[in-house]
């Protein structure tokens, strides 16, 4: 390979590498959101660090789960079943978030603050029944 070809190849590689760095730098951050207590209210648990240590702390008779993250001090409702329904999570202070479930896959509500208060998850199968978990 002659010197000119080698210099052109090096310059082309450098430009390609620089361009790919710009593309990656301009893409949205994939890092999870961090929140705690009240700052979690309304956020999607799937895009936060709260999902990392979440656990199901209660389940009602129609399969609605109350999920809780000790790191974030937040709670949300989650549902996986075969029936279309509305699910919600509520606190004893009046916080309330809901989601509609189509009957396939898994759906969850936005989070609510659960720092120093209690919450529960509820589900309503349209025209049939509604049921809530115990308070946690």
Residue-range domain boundaries for the chain: 1-30, 37-132
pLDDT digits (tens, 9 = 90+) for 41-62: 999 999 999 999 999 999 999 9
- The secondary structure of 77-136 as a DSSP string is EEE-SSS-EEEEEEETTS-EEEEEE-SSS-EEPPPEE-SSS-EEEEEEETTTEEEE----
* Top-level class of domain 37-132: mainly beta
Residue 45: closest CA among 69, 70, 81: 69
Tokens of 62: 């129609």
Cα(129)–Cα(110) distance, integer angstroms: 23
pLDDT confidence of residue 26: 34
- What is the model's pLDDT at position 126? 80
Kindly calculate the radius of gyration of the chain based on its CA atoms and give it in whole angstroms. 23
CA-to-CA distance for 130 and 115, rounded, in angstroms? Answer: 26
- Per residue in 5-44, pLDDT (tens digit) is 444 344 444 444 344 443 333 334 445 779 999 999 999 9
pTM of the predicted model as reported, rounded to 2 decimal places: 0.75
């Amino acid at each position: 390979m002659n010197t000119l070809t080698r210099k052109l190849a090096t310059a082309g590689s450098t430009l390609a590498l620089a361009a790919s760095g710009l593309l990656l730098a301009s893409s949205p951050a994939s890092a999870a959101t961090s929140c705690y207590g009240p700052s979690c209210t309304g956020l999607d648990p799937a895009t936060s660090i709260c999902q990392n240590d979440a656990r199901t702390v209660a389940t009602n008779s129609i399969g609605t789960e109350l999920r809780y993250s000790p790191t974030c001090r937040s709670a949300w409702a989650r549902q996986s079943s075969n029936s279309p329904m509305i699910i919600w999570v509520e606190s004893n202070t009046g916080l309330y978030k809901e989601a509609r479930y189509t009957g396939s896959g898994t759906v969850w509500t936005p989070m609510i603050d659960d720092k120093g208060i209690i919450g529960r998850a509820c589900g309503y199968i349209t025209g049939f029944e509604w049921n809530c978990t115990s308070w946690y």
